[in-house]
Amino acid sequence: EITDTQLTFAESEPLNAEIKVWAAGIKAPGFLTELDGLETNRLNQLKVDTTLATTLDDCVFAFGDCAECWNEGNERSVPPRAQAAHQQASTLYKTLVARLDGGAAHQFVYKDHGSLVSLSDYTAVGSLMGNLSKGSMMVEGKLARLFYVSLYRMHQLALHGFFKTGLIWLNDRLMRVIHSRMKLH
């Protein structure tokens, strides 16, 4: 149990804390380990090569959070983030189209464009990486929040298309007017 001032554990003494940070890791669903003949890691992720084909069966592909993918020379596997899942989806789309024509699979190379964390309705913090910033550039405050919101809308655009994203945006604006900013019940 977590209260304003304390964390209570099932098997040890309670801990007094006013600020709590949730730092739990992710784990893929257990059923992935039961798929016959596919290799998984301790996080239940399916191991894939750089074409996103599973290591033991090149006719089965996996991407996003459920896959462990390594790019050559990197110390860590591709992180379980939305931008990685998005980039992998684009690569896999090209591979599947190529395969239908008898072509070769495309190689996945992860490009880290940085991370942004939303801290409230008004602010955010994060780092941007890419050609513009020539390495890593820290951003915070309203500018970071603007990048965060733009990224969120671009993600919706990729998923739903222009028209539906426009309607979602309109709906969000209307809800901000209609709904109370305080939770009343």
Ligand X SMILES: Cc1cc2nc3c(=O)[nH]c(=O)nc-3n(C[C@H](O)[C@H](O)[C@H](O)COP(=O)(O)OP(=O)(O)OC[C@H]3O[C@@H](n4cnc5c(N)ncnc54)[C@H](O)[C@@H]3O)c2cc1C
Query: What residues make contact with ligand X under the rule CB under 6 A?
Result: 29, 64-66, 80-83, 85
Nearer to ligand X, 80 or 92 (CB): 80
Q: How far is the CB of 101 from ligand X (least distance, A)?
A: 26
Tell me which long-range contacts 158-164 makes (C-beta under 8 A, separation of at least 24). 158/86
Smallest gap from Cβ 178 to ligand X, in A, equals: 26
Smaller CB separation from ligand X, 29 or 103: 29
Nearer to ligand X, 122 or 185 (CB): 122
41-44 own/partner pairs: CB under 8 Å, 24+ apart: 41/68, 43/68
Q: Shortest Cβ distance from residue 144 to ligand X (Å)?
A: 12
